Structure 1
């Protein structure tokens, strides 16, 4: 581990004070930056000291950072990312486990663990981070924060370290919806145009069924409140009905997205690891063993299936339609408890079954901190069609704010 550990309580690697470049929509707001996103003059670790030490400091900020500074926000820190951002639990071998403010004995979720901790513990109003398999949405759910994964490639990834380009996006975690909305509109370069009101809300039944019973109860209560407050009649839909074929929801992950992600990770990070042979943290090294032995050619059919799922799922979405489901099927695991393969799979398999839905369909998704189970937060997610980000922001404001 590092000789001098950072402040893991708020996920901080390095405190900063980067002043706004000009006034704008984000005046007075503070933000942090996940350490896979470039800040000029500061080495980017990608969650790995070996990567940090092998690469020079960037000359320029990532473009998304300049967008925020140019809208009046102040950058107050660089924060922890899980190793190579290849994790959903938030426990870093090198940088420690950032504190989950709402459930301090539990993991914050990853890989945007430092982003969640910096916002949840009051260091920042929002954090700029990334999401591929759920790295914005899972910490949002487990830490009781607002989080948004936008449509794939709606936000510039220039200056964001390579990961899984067909899946990964820049996103935001925030302490309030108003902050999330403002930051996302800056990053989306969203014009102030009117969008349809949400008239149809579908509940993704498969996702609800794999959730723990206590999570199901909380989701049902929240949906009843939304229906009562808005007058919108809830409709139920299965994944097989959305894609028009007899697939279970876990096909998004097991028969599609997982193979695409693994193949791309081999090419973006795996090549560097194989050539440079850096020190790897224990947990990552276990996961990377599967990457190293992955058969790319055997996976080509599943990679092609991702494109079919994208087309079929988005054909389901009308302009006024929202689909909702629990962001994660469980509350956050206790810190240090993911120390056996059984415990890891019990957390990852159902979680990835849910998060892969938006990933494979490239959908915008907002996790809203609406649920509490055994004193721990769980998010309720809302998704809209690909490139319907502004509609989704407006829909969530109408439905739950």
Structure 2
């Protein structure tokens, strides 16, 4: 039960799915991994994504644990439970959608929903070695999702393969074109991002996986990444303080979340205004780059997921979101795909970023790379 906070039997006999405990399910409290919300009343109605799943006959099997208030990236939660990273139990599962990623990685469920405000789907997916999609901002309804107001947060799916991602999107995203999302045999163009600061082996794994796809590849740069990362931090701090700052008076928050919330209140109006200028500039830079490529490829994480013991001992890990958070600020869809990492059983995360509102093309490119990697891996196995 470590990856789940509760088990449910809701919906029909369709595909099984687990739900992050920041998404309302009627009749059950939405605790968001927080002791401060332990006495929350049951939700009065389903979040829109839950209604869509139930109406489509999917089977909701449980609520998953998460980093408290979705305001942390380790996934460590001493109240609701820390999810177990199936591919490396001594390493963090990532956050904040830790339980959803871990449940998929452990084979407890084929598909799960999470939320992503600053990397909270892609980061745990990469930590646990599964696929995860942050859709275009606004493509999937946030009605009934906590916090209620956010200019960054997106609901999206985890799965063991891209096929599970597109199956979920075909239900939760109105108008999602399932056929186009599976049409991988197109002459896609990939922009390989070169100005990223990360562990060399991770970048090499991404380059190898993209190269195996047979797609046209060109080196590209995004000069605004660092500024977008910092601006995204300011926006999330302002919006999370507005949503949950009152809980700092309860004495019930985990120390890390308490400290981050108190620090978040220090963002000035001028700092927020400058962050919004960066949002506009970075989004425009990325839009222009995506006029010359169908997707941008880069690692999901700058390093391997750290050891749980090190994080509990105080190792700083905020930089793990340096390659994911900028795309929350811009609102572009971003998908992470597990790819082989030589000399280890761990997987690297390959992140693909696509055009706004064209999540289908992003999924199709991910299909193409996933198939190529699987074929190359099988060929190496046969040769051995």
1:267 aligned to which of 242, 245, 256: 242
Offset, 1:63:
0.8
Q: Secondary structure at the match of 2:301?
A: coil
Alignment-derived partner of residue 332 in structure 2 = 363
Q: How far 1:234 sits from its partner (Å)?
A: 1.3
Give the direction of change, closer, same or farther, for the CA distance of 1:305–1:317 in structure 2 (3 Å limit).
same
Which of 228, 233, 248 matches 1:252? 228
Secondary structure of the residue aligned to 1:250 is helix
- Quote the Cα distance in structure 2 between the aligned partners of 1:181 and 1:216: 26
Instruction: Choose which of 176, 195, 204 in structure 2 pairs with 1:206.
Output: 195
Partner residue of 1:65 out of 38, 50, 60:
50
CA distance in 2, matches of 1:194, 1:139: 27
1:384 aligns with 2:354: yes
Match of 2:218 in 1: 235
Secondary structure in 2 aligned to 1:393? helix
Q: Does 1:313 align with 2:286?
A: yes
Identify unmatched segments of 5+ residues in structure 1. 1-6, 21-26, 241-246
Alignment of 1:33-182 (within 5 A): 33-53=19-39, 55-162=40-147, 165-182=150-167
In structure 2, the partner of 1:12 is 4
| Equivalent-residue separation in structure 2 for 1:397 and 1:168 (angstroms) | 25
Query: What's the Cα RMSD here?
Result: 2.0
Q: 1:286 to 1:163 in 2, by over 3 A?
A: farther
Cα shift at 1:213: 2.1
How many residues align? The count is 366
The question of whether the paired residues in 1 share the 8 Å contact of 2:8 and 2:63 is answered with yes
Query: Any idea what the Cα deviations from partners look like across 1:86-116, whole Å, max 9, x if unmatched?
Result: 0111111212221111111111111001101
- Structure 2 unaligned segments of length 5 or more: list them: 372-384
Per-residue deviation, residues 130-187 of structure 1 (Å, max 9, x unmatched): 0011110011111110100000010011110116611000011112221111111211
In structure 2, the partner of 1:222 is 209
Partner of 2:250: 277
Q: Conserved in 2, the CA contact under 8 Å of 1:108 and 1:117?
A: yes
TM-score (normalised: structure 1): 0.86
Q: Are the structure 2 counterparts of residues 296 and 277 from structure 1 closer, same or farther at C-alpha, using a change threshold of 3 Å?
A: farther
2:117–2:153: 8 Å Cα contact kept in structure 1?
A: yes
- Aligned partners of 1:219, 1:298: CA distance in 2, in Å? 35
- Aligned-pair CA distance for 1:336: 2.5
Following the alignment from structure 2 to structure 1, what is the Cα–Cα distance between the partners of residues 308 and 113? 24
Aligned equivalents of 1:155, 1:233: Cα separation in 2: 30
DSSP-derived class of the 2:308 partner = coil
Contact persistence 1:198–1:395 (CA under 8 A): no
Structure 1 stretches of 4+ moved >4 Å: 192-196
- CA offsets, 1:322-364, max 9 Å, x none? 11001111111111211455x21xx322x22211231122111
Please state how far the C-alpha of 1:280 moved relative to its aligned partner: 1.1
Alpha carbons of 1:192 and 1:378: their partners in 2 closer, same or farther (altered >3 Å)?
closer
